[in-house]
Copies of this chain bind each other. A is one copy, B any other.
Amino acid sequence: MSKIVTLTTDFGLSDPWVGVMKGVMLSIDPEITFVDISHSIPPQNVLKGALCLGGIKNFFPEGAVHLAVVDPGVGTTREPVIIKTKRYFYVGPNNGLFSFLDSPVEKAVKIANMGLLQPQISATFHGRDIFAPAAARLFSTPMKEFGPAEERLEKLSLPEPSIKENVIEGEITYVDRFGNLFTNITAENLRDLHARFPNSRLEVKPPGGKTISGVSYYYHSVESGELGAIVNSLHLLELFTPNGSAGECFGLKPGDAVTVRFVPAK
Contacts and interface: CB of A to CB of B under 8 A. Distances in A.
- What is the interface of chain A mostly: helix, strand, loop, or mixed? loop
B122 A55 contact: no
Contact-residue size bin, chain A (C-beta under 8 Å from the other chain):
35 or more
A76 interface: yes
Contacts of A22: 35
Contacts of A75: 217-220
A239 B149 CA distance: 36
A13 interface: yes
Contacts of A27: 59-61
Interface in A81-132: 122-125, 128-129
A13 B39 contact: yes
A44 B8 CA distance: 25
A242 B17 CA distance: 19
A207 interface: no
Given A124-B219, A238-B124, A13 B38 contact: yes
A257 interface: no
B23 A64 contact: yes
A81 to B, nearest CB: 18
A202 interface: no
A158 interface: no
12 contacts: A4-B26, A8-B16, A15-B55, A19-B36, A22-B35, A23-B64, A26-B35, A72-B220, A74-B219, A122-B233, A123-B218, A128-B233
5 A-B pairs closest in CB distance: A75-B218, A125-B233, A2-B30, A12-B177, A16-B55
Contacts of A40: 13-14
B23 A243 contact: no
